[in-house]
Amino acid sequence: MKKILIFQLRPGIGDMCIFLSSIYEISKKHKGSEIHLITKKRTKAKNFLKDEKYIKNIIYIEEIRSKFKSSFISLFFFLKNYKFSEAFIMHYGVKYFLICKFLGIKKIF
């Protein structure tokens, strides 16, 4: 089974609602894949997406960052055991692209 990682780190419920159609389309294209969504607490994604079948795991980035001083290192160590095959980055900046490269993800969008 393929594992897909989606970064949607824009803060707020409205931002999550805007990207929700894209997340849904990714899940339709990759039926049978595990989709893991990394977002911020302010999106309240766990509250209003808890019944969605196409997202297997919703992870708040703040929960990962609390374990290490560096968010880059903590995110890398948290995600390295998942063995993702694809990643979708719905955020600006190069940091999440680099994390995906270090994780060995071949397809990054």
Task: Give the closest residue to 5 by CA, choosing from 48, 47, 64.
Answer: 64
pLDDT score of 68 = 64
The number of beta carbons lying within 10 Å of the beta carbon of residue 88 is: 21
Per-residue model confidence as pLDDT tens digits over 81-94? 899 999 999 988 89
pLDDT tens, residue by residue, 43-91 = 989 888 888 888 999 999 888 876 666 677 888 888 998 999 999 999 8
All domains in the chain, ordered by first residue: 3-108 (3.40.50.2000)
Q: What proportion of the chain, given as a percentage, has pLDDT over 70? A: 95
Q: Are the C-beta atoms of residues 5 and 86 closer than 8 Å to each other?
A: yes
- Which tokens hold the place of 5? 């990682």
- Angstrom CA distances, 56 to 7, 39, 93, 99, 103, stand at 14, 14, 26, 21, 20
Strands (E), the chain: 3-7, 34-39, 57-60, 86-89, 107-108
